[in-house]
Amino acid sequence: MARKPEKETKVVETTGHEWDGITELDNPMPRWWLWTFYLTIIWGIGYTIAYPAWPLLNGATPGLLGYSSRAEVAKDIAAVDAANAPLNDKIVSLDLATIAGDSEVGNYAISAGGAVFRTFCIQCHGSGAAGSAGYPNLRDDDWLWGGDIETIYTTISHGIRADEDEDTRLSEMPAFGDDYLSKVEIAQAAQFVLSLTGRATDATLVEGGAVVFEDNCSACHGSDGLGDKFVGAPNLADAIWLYGGDLETVTETITNSRGGVMPAWSAAGRLNEAQLRQVAVYVHELGGGE
Amino acid sequence: MSTETPEEAPKLYAAREPVFPKRVKGKFRQLKWWLMIFTLGVYYITPWIRWNRGPDMPDQAVLIDMAGRRFYMFWIEIWPYEFYFVAGLLIMAGLGLFLFTSALGRVWCGYACPQTVWVDLFVQVERWIEGDRNARIRLLNAKWDARKWRLRLAKWTAWLLIAVSTGGAWVFYFADAPTLIVELFTGQAAFIAYAFIASLTATTFIFGGFMQEQICTYMCPWPRIQAAMMDEDTMTVSYRDWRGEPRAKLKDSMADPSLGDCIDCNACVAACPVGIDIREGQQLECITCALCIDACDDMMIKVGRPTGLIAYLTANDEPLERSGKPPRNMWKHLIRFRTIMYATLWGAVGVGLLVALFVRAEIEVSVAPIRNPNYIVMSDGTIRNDYDIRILNKHGEERQFRVTAETDEHNSNFVVELQGAEGVIVTAPADTTIIQRVYLFAELKNHAAYRERTEVHIWIEDLTSGDTAHVETVFNGKTP
């Protein structure tokens, strides 16, 4: 197609701008374009009336349609809750031990419990539930207060040394450095504790430590150091150490005592019954459940 | 606005010239009827074929189960990770098109393309309702009186019914057809089913009834690509102008033997579904439907002249025929380097797919080590690593698998435990992927307990068939 720009430039008005002899044509906009443009303006005004738009001091104009993205989310959550309600009812009504055996309820409980765990528990126990110093690893087979599912459920519900729950798990190890034991006795006891796992470095201290341990520690930890789940006293003869099993840490523990705290998750409406049970099933299925 | 129009500006669009293909009789028309019955039959009937795969499995022979992520085709079952089979089939379809195009030109367009088949059907319906070519031309120019409205509405209704059943048949490939058809009519089917039927109905109705050859001429990219696959040996519909020209009316050409065989009856033009005159030579609109051959042959027989004035010809034969020599044998055109190459490629992909189909494993296993934490110390000092293994049971029945672990390292034997199971046997239901948590324990006497990394093979054994499969993974020990 032959182009004839010259002929056209003569008849179309220009904007009056000129750069080195190049002028800008002032072609009218196509009508369809113009109408589309007007339509978008009308649409835009209508939109700000129908939907939340104009910012005010506290929030924004609500819009005639009453739309709110927050309300939409709330609706979605409510719909999911409603859909899961039968399963949650089942979880609450079923015996804890039988939940995991039921494939539908069990799988749901593990998934839902995982979600609860990732929201409320990982801050201390870690996303992999492996814990850290002072925060127990929930995947191993060592449990301070017991690892069967009912016990796990009780621990989660009422917490450990949680002020807000009168049924909380409560025990207190004395700080033996405060007037109870001398530095020597503490050193003896520490060596004796290490000897339970065959790691003592000073035989004479162990000898004295046996007496110190029997007099001061065996009431809770047992004469052979195997611990007592009834009072949450850890097993001192196994390979797992909550705060560390080296001489320095053990000495520190005897001197100043330890007393970790876990919130009571049933208190103050933190978790509902279904959630408590879900997370109990989840923790029990992590690999260490008894 | 001060624009002047010195001359009429060229139009951006050419309005469609209505086409009224005239009914023809002949061997190609016959072939096209049979192909239409065959292709439409395949399309409409396939979803209704049943195929027994055992209990709890769909019994539809061809089913694309989107929700279950399976593609069933008779005895073949494709899982999502085997989608390369579908890719392979598409490559074969592509190479097949190349092969046929290089041998026979736009034979796909002329005979098998859904657009051609449905337009053919729509035009036939139009003939039944409105009459043949001349009646339809008269109707187009007629006033919109009661008769025209009646005929038009009847035609559109018939087209719409075909369109609905076309869209309707499509969705049966994606769900159990007998169940879906009841749901469709009782309003219980999924929204997506209705949406697909609606959109395919619309496209069929509009493309088949109103756009017709414009789809091929303006929208379809395939005809433009085809030129690259055609050469001088490609057989395509052509007019023997050296025999036909100069054309003249029958009366004149009977009187003057120097005139050509073409009697200018326009039968070929009237029959053409894309509205061209084949006597003007190869044109991009031509879909090589060969109906002009039938129309011309029919006329030639009537006037007692040899047939083949319009026929499948190759460009290479043209100079031969012009100089009075016989054309080369058809098979010499069909079998040549290019077609052999396409056929070989096509066959190679096909054989490759068949081999892949037969050697693919009946059980599959994959492993995801759990690395948060890297290892777990048990109270007796044993080191535990956790793994999620994924086992695919492709059988139509429940299978049991034994899980074992071994390593090539000296003095490293692992104790295997499965979560939620007694012993090391895991049960996978029919046609399911299961995820099983596996615990590997390295006791203190096992060197892997202190080694940073130990290569481990996790084996699964199908207790029914004895088939085994394994995955490689790593055991992390406790290092200071």
Cβ atoms A232, A160 nearer than 8 A: yes
* ipTM entry: 0.78
Find, in chain B, the residue whose alpha carbon is nearest to that of A287: B419
Which residues of chain B make contact with A12, given a CB cutoff of 8 A? Answer: 2-3
What CA–CA distance (Å, rounded) separates B309 from A96?
88
* Cα distances (angstroms) measured from residue B33 to each of A130, A211, B480: 72, 106, 81
User: What are the pLDDT digits (tens) for B87-117?
Assistant: 999 999 999 999 999 999 899 999 999 999 9
Which residues of chain A make contact with B4, given a CB cutoff of 8 A? Answer: 11
Q: What is the pTM of this model?
A: 0.63
pLDDT by residue for chain B (480 residues), tens only, comes to 444 555 566 666 667 788 899 999 999 999 999 999 999 999 999 999 998 877 677 889 999 988 888 888 888 888 887 888 889 999 999 999 999 999 998 999 999 999 999 999 999 999 999 988 899 999 999 899 999 999 999 999 999 999 999 888 999 999 999 989 999 899 888 898 999 999 999 999 999 999 888 889 888 998 888 888 888 889 999 999 888 888 888 888 888 888 888 998 999 999 999 999 999 988 888 999 999 999 999 999 998 889 989 999 998 888 888 888 888 888 888 888 999 999 999 999 999 999 988 887 777 888 999 998 899 999 998 999 999 999 888 777 888 999 999 888 877 789 999 988 888 999 988 878 888 999 999 988 888 888 899 999 999 998 988 888 889 999 999 887
For B466, the token pair is 């004895």
What residues contact residue B44 under an 8 Å CB cut-off, 6+ apart? Answer: B165, B169
Which residues of chain A make contact with B449, given a CB cutoff of 8 A? Answer: none
Average pLDDT estimate for A118-146? 94
**A59 has pLDDT over 50:** yes
Which of B3, B379, B419 has the CB atom closest to A11's CB atom? Answer: B3
Which residues of chain A make contact with B377, given a CB cutoff of 8 A? Answer: 137, 140, 239-240
What CA–CA distance (Å, rounded) separates B41 from B28?
19
User: What are the pLDDT digits (tens) for A81-98?
Assistant: 999 999 999 999 999 989
pLDDT band at A2 (very low <50, low <70, confident <90, very high): very low
CB contact under 8 A, B381 and A239: yes
User: What are the pLDDT digits (tens) for B256-312?
Assistant: 888 888 998 999 999 999 999 999 988 888 999 999 999 999 999 998 889 989 999
Domains in chain B: ranges and CATH = 27-228 (no CATH), 232-322 (no CATH), 363-476 (2.60.40.10)
Percent of chain A exceeding pLDDT 70 equals: 96
Which of B2, B379, B381 has the CB atom closest to A11's CB atom? Answer: B2
Total beta-carbon pairs less than 8 A apart between chain A and chain B: 57
End-to-end alpha-carbon separation of chain A, Å? 86
pLDDT score, position A8: 46
User: What are the pLDDT digits (tens) for A135-149?
Assistant: 999 999 999 999 999
What distance in Å separates residue A228's CA from the closest CA in chain B? Answer: 15
Closest among A189, A156, A163 to A257, alpha carbons compared = A189
Which residues of chain A make contact with B6, given a CB cutoff of 8 A? Answer: 7
- Residue B252: how many CB atoms within 10 A of its CB? 13
pLDDT, averaged across chain A: 90
Domains in chain A: ranges and CATH = 18-67 (no CATH), 85-168+268-284 (1.10.760.10), 183-256 (1.10.760.10)
Residue from B378, B384, B417, B441 whose CB has the most chain A CBs within 10 Å, to mutate: B378
Cβ atoms B354, B75 nearer than 8 A: no
pLDDT score, position B8: 63
Find, in chain A, the residue whose alpha carbon is nearest to that of B376: A140
pLDDT score, position B15: 73
Cβ atoms B404, B438 nearer than 8 A: no
pLDDT score, position B77: 82
Residue with tokens 């002329």: B110
CB contact under 8 A, B420 and A240: no
